[in-house]
Structures are given as C-alpha cells and as structure tokens.
A = this chain, B = another copy of it.
C-alpha cells in the first residue's frame, strides 16, 4: 500500500505508539512515521499533534486519508476494520470481540498498577501461545507493548515479573510476543536503550524537584 495516505505521529518509548505500529505491520500497511522527540518537538510535529488530537494533545495519532484517529486501542480497532490486508486483530465473533475489548480496557485501567500479570495470563490465554489463541491478537498487542517497560522496571529492581521458573507461561508468552515479525520490526525498543531514556527522565525530574526547592 502507498505510504502517503497513512501517517503515525508517535514516540518510540510509548507502548501506545508501539500498539499502532504493530497493528499496521500485521496488516502490511506502509506508513510514514513521525517521531516526537523527548523535548516534545520538533515544533511542526508538536503543532500537528495539537491539531489532530486537540482533546488530549498526545501521541499516538494515526492519520489516514487526512483524517486523524486518536487513542491507541481505538486506533488498533480502526486499523483492523479499515485494512483487510492482513490477519484479523480482533476475533470475528461478537462475543469473543467483547472479551478482547474487556481485557483491553482492563489492561489500560488496571494492569499497570497491578502485578497479577501471571494470574491474568492464565485466566485469559487458556493454555494457548497467545492471549487471543494461536496467533497474536488484540489483547497481546494491548498487553505486550508494556513488556519493554516491565524489563526496565526489572533492571531497576522495582518489580520481578518475567521469571522462567516462577511464571513460566508469562515468560514463554513474552518471548513469543517479541519474536513476532510485526513486533520485531524495529518497534520494540532494546531494554538498555529504554533504560537510558528512563534514567534521563529520572535525572530531569530530580532536577525539577531541586529547582523547585531552590525557588
């Protein structure tokens, strides 16, 4: 497909941006990718983000045929409905689709404040390779894009989730998820690169705190 009619405004550390890019890869859709830098620039891109997502002013934004779509899981659903050039991301059965949407909402609402990943995986996956069954789907995309951050939090000794012995199913799923070509395609950041980014954030935040104290 021509790249010109599909654009993604995003940021590489953002799990939400990753969701959109993985979904487009799964559908074999070429797209132009515009990366916001850590200083929330360049200014032209910042303007474009404000113009296309005036309510939240955040990435990711998908622009398809000059129409903007916002909110990562809504974008993933849009990609699934608008492009038939690849496997389905949501199940075809309305009930199964409602289950996928339920867990998608649950992941954004709860899982990030929760450490019961393994329990959730056991409940949802029912022994399959992926949450949605034998191939990558909506819940995997919603859930799996947090893995890069999980690994960074593990390196910082804040959590321990992906343990081959204690949580073998979740561990196996994380390996499978990251080996899917649509995910591997330069989207999923190296743990060390993301760790450096997080350290910069922490340093910046520390600086801000001290600056405030000195005012």
Contacts and interface: CB of A to CB of B under 8 A. Distances in A.
Interface of A: 55, 64, 67, 69-71, 74-75, 77-78, 81-82, 94-95, 97-98, 101-102, 105-106
> Among A75, A98, A105, which residue has the most Cβ atoms of chain B within 10 A?
A98
- Copy number in this complex? 2
Given A55-B106, A106-B55, A77 B101 contact: yes
A70 to B, nearest CB: 6
27 contacts: A55-B102, A55-B106, A64-B95, A67-B95, A69-B95, A69-B98, A69-B102, A70-B102, A71-B101, A71-B102, A71-B105, A74-B98, A74-B101, A74-B102, A74-B105, A75-B98, A77-B97, A77-B98, A77-B101, A78-B94, A78-B95, A78-B97, A78-B98, A81-B94, A81-B97, A82-B94, A82-B95
Given A71-B101, A77-B97, A81-B94, 5 more contacts: A67-B95, A71-B105, A74-B102, A74-B105, A78-B95
Contacts of A55: 102, 106
Contacts of A94: 78, 81-82
Contacts of A77: 97-98, 101
A64 B99 CA distance: 13
Contacts of A97: 77-78, 81
A75 B106 CA distance: 14
A119 to B, nearest CB: 11
A208 to B, nearest CB: 26
Contacts of A71: 101-102, 105
Nearest to A94: B81
A106 B102 CA distance: 17
Nearest to A99: B69
> Among A74, A77, A97, which residue has the most Cβ atoms of chain B within 10 A?
A74
Contacts of A105: 71, 74
Contacts of A98: 69, 74-75, 77-78
